[in-house]
Amino acid sequence: MKNSFIALLVFVVVLTIKAQADEGMWLPSLVGKLNIQKMTSLGCKLTAEQIYSINHSSLKDAVVALDHGSCTAEIISADGLLLTNHHCGFGEIQAHSSVEHDYLRDGFWAMKREDELSNPGKTVTFLIRMEDVTDQVLKNVTADMDDQTRTAKVREAAAKIEKEAKGESGYETRVRSLFESNKYFLFVSQTFKDIRLVGTPPQSIGKFGGETDNWMWPRHTGDFSMFRVYCAPDGKPAEYSKQNVPFHPKYFLPISLKGIDKNDFTMVMGYPGTTTRYRTSNEVKYTMEVVNEVRIAAREVKLDIIKDYMATSQKARIQYASKFARSSNYYKYSIGQNKGLTALNIIGKKQDIEKDFLRWANETPERKAKYGSALDTINMAFTSRDEKIALEYSREALLRGAEIFAFAAKASSLDEALKGTDKDKIKSAVTELRGSLDEYFKDYDSSTDQKIVASLLKLYSQKVNSKYIPGFIAEIESKFRGDFNAYARKLFAKTIFADQARLESFLNKPSSKVLDKDMAFTAMRSMFETMNTISHDLSKTTSKLEKARRLFVAGLNEMNKDKSVYPDANSTMRLTYGTVDGYVPHDATYYSYFTTLKGYVEKGISGDVDFDFPQKLVDMYNAKDFGPYADKDGSIHTCFTSNNDITGGNSGSPVINGNGELVGIAFDGNWEAMSCDIAYEPDLQKCICVDIRFVLWTIDKFAGAGQLVNEMKLIR
């Protein structure tokens, strides 16, 4: 371990007044140096080597990144059985569903291996090792370099390290920056591509509470689904094939039936997505007033339209279930984050930190010269908002708004080929586009998308500076007298991208002339031209902002030499530790740390979109048919809370007790601490977990898929 890195790890990265030992998303390779003593004092009985090892099997070998880090999952059998959240498998469950086989509504269980369902595009990535390579990356970087030269030197060194580490191994290698590019780590991993759906409870269990309960506690949701990792007969990753076999992992997690009690040690390993706990007060203000407000405004419009369509039929509900879930999750998150940041006065707390930093930086000429202007530079980057508002609305109202424009963009490579003379390129582009049609149109309703186009383009035109209005939107005022509905009607009547048969006909005889006149395709081009303008204007401050952030973090490192730290999350493996407990959300209220099946039955409302329930579950509850999965109090515990530090990407992460046994699956955070990505709140922040015994009870007793439980190693 390099001394320089140990020095960095004594700086408080979290800009909060009150730090707790439980706080932190720690690099597993450093647990032995930084965390194991505190973990042991809280009840961890494992050694650092049992948690993370390069030479031996360890916990890290059972924890995987799902779909390159969008979620986390864990291996729970010697035959590659995988456990994650229901919402992490929601897209695959929806894709396999139909009116005849509604797996969203009814659930799915593969009673035999040959019944397991393949999922093209789904991946599972194992971490092989991580290594501090800061010295190698920064070897040729000097303090007086301009930022462009520095970036080039860093990329050159990183590419060399990645190439040498990869060798003939077949592994993926990637150098990632940490601590705002003050440190660099090499991550070596292996990705498997044949991932099959094994089982999922009905949505009335796996998504019980729906949008009403999302981000809330108490919860009673059985938020889990099961997959299996397959590989080639030689054990190496392979695309789907009938000849593939179940993967045999280096390690899989044993499962505890003993349950958990208040103050029990818990550890979460996973792939948290993004935190921004280094951000300054002005940056937090920007997040609240621009990023979140734009997201809320645009998604509210889109979600209302989708919800109306989903209510029309079972087919419509299945088609848009996954799209609605993806969009609504961070819509509600943004509302909660703004509320939390305000209630906890995070801007004020960060301003206090910044005052201390400036006072410290100005104490000596050397510090003032190096760090004195960092905060001013960061603040200057956020004085102008027009281009930033345009950026956020272009993401939410254009790129992530209606589907038709993003789909039209798929024809860009075909358009380029058609303008040339290479027939093979044209044929290849046609084949690629044609191959996506069935999957796209299966879950597409043009009338719904037409409404989204009209509503979001109108919103964009009202909210964005005229400099950043795409030409085709500006023309709606003159050609359609500002009637966005009329524009959308004509677009969908004329374009080839709203109807599969029309698009198939075009692909039989593709023409660049047709694309050049197509309203959806030309609108897409206009959007990207405008986004280039936005990017150009943003680039004027980007490089200065990145350097200022790097200096700000480096300065904080010097200012706080005696405090332990962790880097912001960036979809690399992290470990958090804490204990089981409830919390006080507001005055005169205490939330217990666990819920039971009794609460599930009490919440249930037959036929309700969020709280519908399977009658079989209620019957089993009334009969007390709990098998070996009841707690010592005689009830089925459904969910529990701990103070583990998590964020998006941790969904599906294993919750592990002090003996290294699986006791739950992390699936959510709590509403009162939605500020957590920016600032950890030790008194309020909770990790919401489904109790593993509820998971096993659902698999074995409710679904009758006991053969899956028989694969697992149960600790009684």
87 is catalytic: yes
CA distance 321 to 91: 9
- Residue pair 9/553 in contact (Cβ under 8 Å)? The answer is no
Q: Which residues contact 611 (CB under 8 A, 6 or more apart)?
A: 208, 209, 210, 212, 603, 604, 605
Burial of 257 (0-12, 13-18, 19+ CB in 10 A): middle
Pick the closest to residue 72 from 573, 641, 678 (CA basis): 573
* β-pair partners for 579: 265
Q: Which residues contact 284 (CB under 8 A, 6 or more apart)?
A: 341, 346, 347, 350, 678
E-assigned strands of 97-161? 108-109, 117-118, 124-132
- DSSP 3-state of 386: helix
* β-pair partners for 654: 665
CA distance 262 to 20: 18
Burial of 213 (0-12, 13-18, 19+ CB in 10 A): buried
223 is catalytic: yes
Q: Which amino acid is at 643?
A: N
The helix-helix angle for 293-310 and 386-393 (nearest 10°) equals 20
- What is the CB neighbour count within 10 angstroms for residue 416? 13
Element (H, E) at 688: strand 687-691
CB-hemisphere CA count at 13 Å for 366?
2
CA distance 177 to 570: 9
- Residue pair 69/649 in contact (Cβ under 8 Å)? The answer is yes
Check 132, 194, 213, 223 and give the catalytic one: 223
Query: How far is Cα of residue 530 from the mean position of the Cα atoms in its chain?
Result: 28
CB-hemisphere CA count at 13 Å for 153?
17
Element (H, E) at 296: helix 293-310
Q: CA–CA distance from 151 to each of 54, 147, 157 (Å)?
A: 30, 6, 10
CA distance 128 to 28: 12
Maximum separation of any 2 CA atoms in the chain, in Å: 76
Check 22, 29, 87, 189 and give the catalytic one: 87
Check 189, 651, 653, 675 and give the catalytic one: 651
- DSSP 3-state of 64: strand
53 is catalytic: no
Residues comprising the chain, all counted: 716
CA distance 688 to 665: 8
Burial of 437 (0-12, 13-18, 19+ CB in 10 A): middle
Pick the closest to residue 657 from 262, 256, 61 (CA basis): 256
Active centre residues (catalytic): 87, 223, 651
